[in-house]
A and B are shown apart, each in its own frame.
Chain A
Amino acid sequence: MIDFSVYETKQLEIYAYRCPECRAEYYPAPMLCAKCHCRRDPSGIVHKDWDPFPLEGACTLLTWTRVWALPEGYDRPCEMFGIVEFPNGLRAAGRLEAASPVMGMALVARVEESTERPGPPAKVFVFSEA
């Protein structure tokens, strides 16, 4: 019997990628490593795909905004967004949840599923107070 409960508990993740040759890290994944020019093969058929690893956990807020003119799909008046930096130097943009955001504040990144935008559900970063 298949245990479907594992699908429900499976944590959502967004991946950064590590070059298998020189270990340089990227988010999102390019096709070529900027440092050693190693290529990625998303199919994994001809070349090995790069090593994905989840981008999550502690990060720092670089800049943020509260948007009142949201695009199609949102049913609330405003939403906060920010750009963060992780300890490994990678940066990412996503949603922000903080009572009074301050640039440089410590945050924690998690991943949620969003159905706001047109098309299939998307995985989004949510940055909240540490």
Chain B
Amino acid sequence: MAPRVGIVGIGHIKFGNLSEYDLVDIMAYTATDALRDAGILADRRMVDQLFVANMGGGVINHQTGIASALVSRLGLEPTPAELVENGPASGGSAIKLGYMAVASGMADVVMVVGGETMRKVTGWKATDFVATLGHPEAEYGMGLTLPAFGAMFARLYMERYGVTERDLALVAVKDHANAARNKYAHVQEPCTIEAIHESPDAHVVNNYVAEPLRLYSVCPVSDGAATVILVNMDSPKAAAFRHPPIRIAGLGSATDTHCVHNRKDPLHLDAVRLSAEKALAMAKLTPQDISFAELHDAFVVLELAIAEEVGFYPRGKAVEAVRRNENAIDGKLPLNTSGGLKAKGHPVGATGVSQVVELVRQLRGKAEPGRQVKNPRYGMAVNFGGFGNNVVAIICAKE
């Protein structure tokens, strides 16, 4: 039987504009925090495998071989290390490979570091860089970007399910309230429905980015890094760590068509549904067992659509929970307790790892006051790459 895999160390830098810092330095900073959190800073050579999640090192930082550079920055030689690039789902994919390394018996202690510095370049260049994950001729070459895909999806979703701009603004208000209490969030400013939707100036504060999506419907461009340390819970080495492990109970991933236009129903996110189904089956859980979730809301409409694909709500019904405020910290099903990509920020390669750091903080009961979910048992993260092209779902459990 494959060993149980748990998380025993976490590290996270405050997301934001870190453009004056070196990419490998900020990754190493969170790796150091995770090693200290795990209680193995001095014994860090216990780490017998490193996976690094990053999407834009070669393009934005003009740097390759980042995984081995990080090993050296940490004085961790001769630990083997590999880079994982899977678009904005790189972080989730790197954790999946970390899990596989432990489950296969090839490693007992694996460190997974995700990081990105997108603000080294202008917003136009950052948007262009992320757009390169589209089909080169049929999407990227046409001028399409991720905000364009998010907006075209939102227009269809809003039309089919009667979702309004006010509904999307309510999701943003909830996300910002959570991020305001999260010491790692990029945007720690709460916002009100009056300011971003109801006041006569709301359209100025909350202008269109890609219609029908407004500034408060899309994530900021962020820099950041996050780290988790995985351990074989059935190995004697597991006793060396300071914290009881948070177990990875389920993990699933899937791929959808490269071209968004080739999906039979453009509102069906098959890779989300399949990855969540796999993760739930592996954990022997149903969606109703999940206490809280981090869902990849690069565009707030995705919080609703992903919540439905995962099975938290029937199609088109997530908006009713939004209107009843059921996804707030003290609601029936808290979503994006960290502030989500919307307000915590979205340094693409770091995001999937950051989501799992939030699961661990909540499951340890160590989130900031006012942001701690009450007695959570199972947390789920959905990391969404491309426009749903590749997705990783991870379920963590408090033992």
A87 CB within 8 Å of chain B: no
Given contacts A28-B135, A91-B262, A117-B140, contact A68 B152 (CB under 8 A): no
Q: Within 8 Å of chain A (Cβ to Cβ): is B143?
A: yes
**A-side contacts of B262, CB under 8 Å:** 91
Q: How far, in whole Å, are A117 and B156 apart by their CA atoms in the complex?
A: 27
Query: What 0/1 pattern do residues 130 to 160 of B give for CB contact below 8 A with A?
Result: 0100010111111111011001110110010
Please tell me if A41 contacts chain B, counting CB pairs below 8 Å: no
| Chain A nearest Cβ from B147, distance in angstroms | 6
Query: What is A's interface to B at a CB cutoff of 8 Å?
Result: 14, 27-28, 62-74, 79, 81-83, 91-95, 103, 114, 116-118, 122-125
> Contacts A69-B147, A125-B142: A93 and B261 contacting too (C-beta < 8 A)?
yes
- Interface pairs (20), CB distance under 8 Å: A27-B138, A28-B135, A28-B137, A28-B138, A62-B266, A64-B152, A65-B151, A66-B210, A67-B145, A68-B207, A68-B210, A81-B142, A81-B152, A93-B138, A95-B143, A103-B159, A117-B140, A117-B141, A122-B137, A124-B142
Query: Do B261 and A70 have beta carbons less than 8 Å apart?
Result: no
The residue on B at minimum CB distance from A81 is B148
Counting chain B residues whose Cβ lies within 8 A of the other chain, the interface size class is 35 or more
Given A66-B208, A93-B261; 18 other pairs, CB 8 A cutoff: A14-B137, A63-B152, A63-B153, A63-B156, A63-B266, A64-B155, A67-B209, A70-B145, A72-B124, A73-B128, A74-B143, A81-B148, A93-B142, A103-B155, A117-B128, A122-B142, A124-B141, A125-B142
Does B125 belong to the interface (CB within 8 Å)?
yes
Q: Is the CB of B151 within 8 A of A67?
A: yes
Contact A71 B131 (CB under 8 A): yes
Q: In whole Å, how far is B59's beta carbon from the nearest beta carbon of chain A?
A: 11
Name the distance in Å between A42's Cβ and chain B's nearest Cβ.
13
Which of B128, B143, B153, B208 has its CB near the most chain A CB atoms (within 10 A)? B143
Interface check B122, CB cutoff 8 A: yes
Name the 9 nearest CB pairs between A and B, nearest first: A65-B151, A122-B141, A71-B128, A91-B261, A72-B124, A72-B128, A63-B152, A71-B127, A67-B210
Q: Are B124 and A81 in contact (CB under 8 A)?
A: no
Tell me whether A28 and B145 are in contact (CB under 8 A). no
Known: A72-B125, A73-B128. Contact between A63 and B139, CB under 8 A?
no
When C-beta atoms are compared, the residue in chain B nearest to A74 turns out to be B143
Known: A66-B211, A91-B261, A93-B138. A82 touches B143 (CB 8 A): no
Least CB distance, B110 to chain A, in whole angstroms: 34
In contact, A93 and B144 (Cβ under 8 angstroms): yes
Nearest B residue to A80, CB-CB: B211
- Bound-state Cα–Cα, A118 to B136, Å: 12
When C-beta atoms are compared, the residue in chain B nearest to A114 turns out to be B143
- For the complex, give the distance between the alpha carbons of A65 and B266 in Å: 15
Q: B151–A92 contact, CB under 8 A?
A: no
Report which of B131, B141, B210, B260 forms a contact with A65, defined as CB distance below 8 A.
B210
- Give the residues in chain A near B125, CB-CB below 8 Å: 71-72
Are A118 and B128 neighbours in the complex by a CB distance under 8 Å? yes
Q: B122 — which chain A residues lie within 8 A by C-beta?
A: 72
Q: Given that A71-B124, A81-B144 are known contacts, is A65 also in contact with B211, CB under 8 Å in the complex?
A: yes
Is residue B123 contacting chain A, with contact meaning CB distance below 8 A? yes
Residues of B within 8 A of A81 (CB): 142-144, 148, 152
A83-B152, A117-B140 known; A71+B208 contact, CB < 8 A: no
Given contacts A63-B155, A72-B125, whether A93 and B139 have CB atoms under 8 Å apart is yes
A65 and B152 within 8 A (CB): yes
Q: Are A69 and B138 in contact (CB under 8 A)?
A: no
Report the Cα distance A122→B153, complex, angstroms.
25
Confirm or deny: B282 has a beta carbon within 8 angstroms of a beta carbon on chain A: no
Q: How far is the CA of A124 from the CA of B147 in the complex (A)?
A: 19
Q: Which residues of B contact A66 (CB under 8 A)?
A: 208, 210-211
Question: With A28-B135, A91-B261 known to touch, is A71 a contact of B145 (CB < 8 Å)?
Answer: yes
Q: Report A93 CB to chain B, min CB distance, Å.
A: 5
Residues in A whose Cβ lies below 8 Å from that of B139: 93
- Interface status of B205 (Cβ within 8 A of chain A): no
A38 to B346: give the CA distance in the assembly, Å. Answer: 41
Q: How far is the CB of A128 from chain B (nearest CB, A)?
A: 15
